């Protein structure tokens, strides 16, 4: 069954952490909707300059519209967490119990949303302390799942991240 997946994207996202899961979801018949600060803006990848058009603003989006959330890493999560609407959207999404796929620096949005405490997670090694200080348990493994949450560390983990994400989608 086809699912609607929100991808929360801002400038400086890690290209492969967006484009590879997006392609895999598309091959499985799922629909990706790009969510960002402002509808119609273009977010650019930090490595290859991939351009992603924002389909909907976080302000006009609700978790009820989607079956899952993708949070690619890079500088995007750090940029997005400056916006309270983006932080609220992520918090509401996690609290909905629906799957959330977070890779690399993606957990920074969960830290800012105050919802990493008591959860097992992984992410890029430079944010380990941030996750731990927020009360999360950092596990250095290619994929860490905690309930509906799926985490991976970096682009090298993308194949395992995609497999675990597709498993959560059913």
| Residues that are catalytic | 104
Give SS3 for 45. strand
* C-beta separation of 70 from 90 below 8 A: no
Kindly give the pairing relationship between strand 137-138 and strand 120-121.
parallel
Q: Yes or no: say if 67 and 169 are a contact pair by the CB < 8 Å rule.
A: yes
Q: What radius of gyration, in Å, describes the C-alpha atoms of the chain?
A: 14
Residue 42 to residues 35, 45, 72, 146, Cα–Cα distance (Å): 11, 10, 15, 32
Cα 138 to its chain centre, rounded Å, is: 17
Token code pair at residue 71: 């949070």
DSSP-assigned letter for residue 101: E
């Amino acid at each position: 069954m086809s699912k609607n997946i929100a991808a929360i994207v801002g400038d400086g996202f890690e290209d492969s952490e967006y484009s590879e899961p997006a392609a895999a979801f598309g091959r499985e018949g799922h629909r990706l909707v790009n969510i960002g600060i402002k509808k119609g803006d273009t977010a650019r990848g930090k490595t290859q300059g991939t351009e992603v058009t924002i389909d909907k603003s976080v302000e006009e989006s609700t978790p009820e519209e989607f079956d899952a959330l993708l949070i690619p890493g890079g500088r995007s999560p750090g940029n997005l967490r400056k916006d309270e609407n983006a932080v609220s959207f992520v918090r509401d999404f996690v609290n909905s119990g629906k799957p959330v796929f977070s890779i690399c620096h993606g957990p920074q949005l969960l830290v800012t949303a105050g919802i990493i405490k008591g959860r097992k997670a992984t992410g890029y090694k430079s944010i380990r302390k941030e996750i731990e200080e927020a009360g999360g348990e950092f596990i250095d493994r290619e994929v860490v799942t905690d309930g509906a949450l799926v985490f991976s560390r970096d682009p090298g983990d993308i194949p395992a991240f995609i497999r675990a994400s597709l498993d959560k989608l059913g």
